[in-house]
Every structure is written in structure tokens, then in C-alpha cells.
Amino acid sequence: MKDLLDYLVRPDASLREVIEVINRGSAQIALAVDAESRLLGLITDGDIRRALLRNESLTSLAENVMSRDFYALPSDATEEEALACMRRETIHQIPGLDEGGRVVRLFLLEEIIKQKRRPNSVVIMAGGKGRRLRPLTDGCPKPMLRVGGKPLLEITLEQCIEAGFHSFYLSVNYLKNQIQDYFGDGSRWDVRIDYLEETRPLGTAGALSLLPENISEPFLVINGDVLARIDYGQLLRFHDEYQAAVTLCVREHATQIPYGVVRMDDLRVVALEEKPLLTHYVNAGIYIINPGLLDLVPPNEFFDMPQLIEKAMALQHRVTAFPIHEYWLDIGHPQTLQRAHEEWTPSSTFRA
């Protein structure tokens, strides 16, 4: 485990600072302590995301978000006792405290059970033509465009492997041979790769109808033109915690209105707002989907992901939003591809 200090924050720290601690500690948790290192509260990655959905600002204080009702163990507790407690209470971290309530250690579920391979499959949508990126995509599939010296698709694959996934399905159509020749059966990465071959474009969800019937666990779906650093293990836990049928990753997006906005009550002007900045959440192109929803995907028909989600909601399936505060970029335009070249570095990704 990392140095315990990597997980500690003061209650007057901002949410932005807490996010930095959570990301640096790689355990999806920060421990709020006083000047004597006495534990005051816990802040999980999920707490941060729920706070953002409540419109909390990144300048809000940790004490406004932290949970004061938490589980803790004596610092001399065994890993077996910690594991039993975490499984009983369905939690993934538990602090160990001395007699004065000071944090001495942090038990982490993943470190105790040392889970290496996840049973969940990953579907990467890599069949699009990338028309907006022509002429770069005239002879190259969009997911095979290089960022930081590697194909975008390989970056996504390796991130998922690092998070413990080993079963992959690549949806292919346009210039599919280039993708299949490069990745093969996945043995170069010690994983299994199968291909969902579209005979014609099937949209952002239609290829899911080509998945085998033996998919039994919630599966991850990633658009092949997304560049992100997301903790996929935390995403799976979020999906499970909220008992969702679909979890949709969302990203905050700001739009500057270039004009002064006039607010009226009938014909009476009640307010003037000069060039306001509007913020809203947009679809980030990353999903967790329960296998039962595959029955909603029509076979061999063009079908987009929004259609699947709307169909699921109409049938009262639970759809939850997972707000992303980590790095995320949609490589769909020449401008965003250039941004990726300028910003992306092959630094370490999150381990789940």
C-alpha cells in the first residue's frame, strides 16, 4: 500500500484537493483527519461524484461531503477480520485506528484478496468511419489513429487490462482487417479478443446483438474514439451499489452564450445576464450494461445507444449517471485529436 499520508486530508480542504488525494492514493478514498491525525470522516470517490451531481462546487469543503458515520477497526486487527467486516458491510476500505482514534493503517479489499482478473467482458466500438477526421481516416480506422505513439484502441485496451479485464469484444466494420491484423486474438497481451463483425454499420449499440448468449455479468462498453483515464473498477462498484441496469458515464460541459440573455415575465424584463456560461452533463461514451438488456437490441439493425437507454427507461429499468472528473476527450474532430497530441502522456492509469 502507498504511504498512509497519501490518503489524508484536512476537513477544510476543497473538493478539488480531495480529488487529487483520491487519485494519488488510487484507493478511491480520502480520510479527513484533524491536526493530531484523529479520524473525522471518510470521503469516497462515489461521495465526490454524488456531490457533483448535487451541483456542489469543486471549491466546496471536504467537511460538507465527508461521511461521519463510518466503520473502523483497531489498528491491530488482522486482514481476515478486516476482510470479514468489508464483506459483511459491502465496503472496500476500512481504516485501522489506535486507542486515541488516530489513523494508523488502511485496509484495502483489493490488496487483501489480490483480485487479478475480472469476469466482466469489455466491448469496444471500433467500426466507425471517422468521416470528420478525413483525410486522416481515408486509409486508417479512427480507433487506429496514434496518440502518444500508440493506436487509440491499444491505449484503451491496455487500460482495461490494467484494471483486471481479460475478455474483449471489438466491434469492427470499416477497414476491419487493419484492426484484426494488429490485435489478433489478444495473445500478445495475454487476453482474449473476439470480433463482432458488422456486415453493415449498426450504430453505437446495434453490434451488441452479435454478442454471444453466454454473457452473464455486467459488461463495459467503450466508444473507440474516447481517450480517458477512468477507474473502471470504481465504475463497476458504482453500478453495483446503485443496482443499475445501465450506468452512463457523463461529463460536465460548459457552453458560453455569446449574447446577453434577457429574462422576461410575459413582456416585462426581469433580468439581464451578460454572456452567461451554461453547464450541463453530456454523454461520455462509456457504459456498464446488464446482460439482460441485450434482449432489447434488435438483431442486425442500426441501433444507437441512446435508443437502448430510452427503451430501458421506458421499461422501468434503472439508469444511473456516473460523473467523470478525470481526464476525458472525444477524438472525433481534428481539433480534439490535436489536443490529444498536445496533452496526452503515457503516464500510469488507475489500478482497480
Q: How far apart are CA 285 and CA 305, in angstroms?
A: 9
pLDDT for 83: 80
Q: Which residues contact 294 (CB under 8 A, 6 or more apart)?
A: 208, 209, 211, 215
pLDDT for 348: 35
pLDDT for 145: 87
pLDDT for 21: 85
CATH of domain 121-343: 3.90.550.10
Residue at 323: amino acid letter: P
Q: Where are the alpha helices (DSSP H) in the chain?
A: 15-25, 45-53, 79-89, 109-113, 152-162, 176-183, 232-241, 305-314, 334-343
At 261 the three-state DSSP class reads: strand
The parts of the chain modelled with pLDDT lower than 70 are 1-2, 25-26, 113-116, 346-352
pLDDT for 306: 93
State how far Cα 22 lies from the chain centre. 14
Q: Describe the strand order of the beta sheet including 121-125 as a list of residue ranges.
A: 192-197, 167-172, 121-125, 219-223, 277-289, 246-256, 319-324
pLDDT for 183: 93
pLDDT for 182: 92
- pTM for this entry: 0.66
pLDDT for 167: 93
Distances (CA, A) of 280 to 3, 247, 323: 37, 18, 11
Q: Do 120 and 218 touch, CB atoms closer than 8 A?
A: yes
CATH of domain 4-113: 3.10.580.10
| All structural domains of the chain with their residue ranges | 4-113, 121-343
**Does residue 275 have an active-site annotation?**
yes
Q: Which of 114, 150, 275, 311 is catalytic?
A: 275
pLDDT for 118: 85
